[in-house]
Structure formats: C-alpha cells, structure tokens
Amino acid sequence: MSLTPEQIATYAADGVVKIPGAVSQDQLGPILDLADQQLTNPGPWVTDSNPGATEERLFTTRYLWQDEPVVKSFLYDSGVAELAANAMSSQGARFYFDHLLVKEPRTDAPTPWHQDIPYWPFLGSQICSIWVACTEAAVEGSSLEFVRGSHLWGSYFAPESFTGETDQVGWTADFEGEKCPDIEAARDDYDIIGFDVEPGDALLFSSWIVHGSPANTSPNRRVALSTRWLGDDAVWHPHPGCDPTITDDDTTAVAGSYPADDARFPLVFGASA
C-alpha cells in the first residue's frame, strides 16, 4: 500500500493523516494476544498506572521487537515502513521502536498533550509514528487528538511523564525547557482534530506534532501499536532527560550523524540515506 499524493500533502500540511484500513485484520489478532500477555507479564520498558486492574489502567510497554516475533513480523510484513517513508518523502525508513498502548475501560487518565521528539534521542524533520488501532475507538474512547499544524511551530517542549509520576529522574525529570502549553485548558485557541478509528486504521503523524488522547470513558479496552520511524534526515541526538531505552552505550550511532546502525535501527524499507 502506498499513500496517495493527497495523503502525503495532508501529512505535510497538518502533521497527521489518517489511513483507513492500513493494516490487515489478520495482523491484529496476534497483537491483541500480545497485549493480553504483556498486561500480565510485561517486558522491561513498561509504564503501568494500576497493575493488575481491568479498569482505570493506562499501560504501555515498548521495545518488544527483538524478543517478540509478532512485533518483528508486523514491522516487516504489515507495510507500515513504506507508508512512513512515503509520508516523510524519504527514500528509506529505519525503525526506532515499538510502543504498545493499552487503556482499559473507564480510564480517567488522559495521555497528556505532548510532542514525541523531545522524548527521543533524535533530531530531524523526517521522523514519524504510525499508530495502528487494534480496537475501535472514538475520541471519547481515547482515540488520538492533534493540534493541526503544530509540527511547524518550531517548538521543542519538555517531555513529561504520561502517568504524572515525578520519579522518572534521569529521564523526563532531567530535561530543561519550556513546558507544553495547557492545550486542554484553552482548547478553543487551537485547531484540534481528532480521529475515530476502526481496527486496522492508522494515524500517521510527525514526531513534532502536539498530540494526546482523552480519558477512555467507554466500556471497552483500547489497544494501539505505535511504531516509530526515522527518515533520511534523522540524526542521533542523545540529550538529558530523553528516553533511556537506547543510549549512547547501546548503539554505534554518532551524535549529529545519520543512525546507520542496522542492529538497533534496521532499515526496513528503501535505501539508506
């Protein structure tokens, strides 16, 4: 599947584009099974607001692809890498990390408004995520919302913990910088777009766009798999306060240079920059 010129133009202007039916249904079942497994037996990079609960629980687990064949085959077989390269107008798409996000029914916690890029040890305009809905979700059921065009603001807002914890010293707490404005308190001041999604729909968005998701007021579990992609102009940029999943010690990538580390950041689609 390739993007249409209209979809590529929407991504460039808005910072986000919805791709209905991007992923085939037969790839979603194994991801939902994986979510079940992770909820009871999570991998090492987990955020869990309410362990063991079946409601009122925001759970995320990431960087599973090296150990979980389901995630690895999703990366290589679902076609998402090509969609990422298309959207970013990049000749290649290198994989950064996978992020499985579960919001159990009646979870009050929103995903706070944020940009992704300050959390990550990269810089570049060609860096994006593809958030694939594995369950249906309306915005009231915690699908994503975006501040349209905010990827072009030139902002780099301080990352904050999704669960509101302040103990993530060495990660979000060490970052010094401007806080993301309180979008929620002044929604009318911003051009906010939200997307209702069916299983298999994808939201493809720039790592620079301000986005979040509201509470899950629905009686249903919301599951999404977000994969993160690096285009031709991405450069390795480790900095205080960013995500510790992959640090300078884990990669051959050199600060300020394209991350041609095939072991950590495999080129899944196209050619290397």
Ligand X SMILES: O=C(O)CCC(=O)C(=O)O
Q: How many residues bind ligand X (CB under 6 A)?
A: 10
What are the DSSP calls for 41-96, one per residue?
S--SEEEESSTT-SSS-EEEEE--TTT-HHHHHHHHHSSHHHHHHHHHT-SEEEEE
Is-contact 47 102, C-beta < 8 A?
Answer: no
Output 195 or 273, the one with its CB closest to ligand X: 195
List binders of ligand X among 200-219 (CB under 6 A).
211, 213
Output 97 or 258, the one with its CB closest to ligand X: 97
* Tokens coding 119: 């959390």
- The yes or no reply on residue 172 touching ligand X (CB under 6 A) is no
Backbone dihedral region for residue 9 (phi beyond 0: left; psi -120 to 50: alpha; all else: beta): alpha
For the CB of residue 224, give the shortest distance to ligand X in the complex, in Å.
5
For the CB of residue 227, give the shortest distance to ligand X in the complex, in Å.
9
What is the x/- site pattern for ligand X, positions 217-246, by CB under 6 A?
A: -------x-x--------------------
For the CB of residue 266, give the shortest distance to ligand X in the complex, in Å.
20
- The yes or no reply on residue 131 touching ligand X (CB under 6 A) is yes
Is-contact 229 207, C-beta < 8 A?
Answer: no
What is the x/- site pattern for ligand X, positions 42-81, by CB under 6 A?
A: ----------------------------------------
Cα dist. 93→86, 233, 266 in Å?
9, 11, 8
Among 14, 68, 98, 116, binds ligand X (CB under 6 A): 116
List binders of ligand X among 82-101 (CB under 6 A).
99, 101
Q: State how far the Cα of 27 lies from the Cα of 49, in Å rounded to an integer.
A: 27
- The yes or no reply on residue 129 touching ligand X (CB under 6 A) is yes
- The yes or no reply on residue 119 touching ligand X (CB under 6 A) is no
- The yes or no reply on residue 10 touching ligand X (CB under 6 A) is no
DSSP code, position 159: P
At 25, is the secondary structure helix, strand, or coil?
A: helix
Chain centroid to CA 247: how far?
18
Is-contact 46 233, C-beta < 8 A?
Answer: no
Q: What are the residues binding ligand X (CB under 6 A)?
A: 99, 101, 111, 116, 129, 131, 211, 213, 224, 226
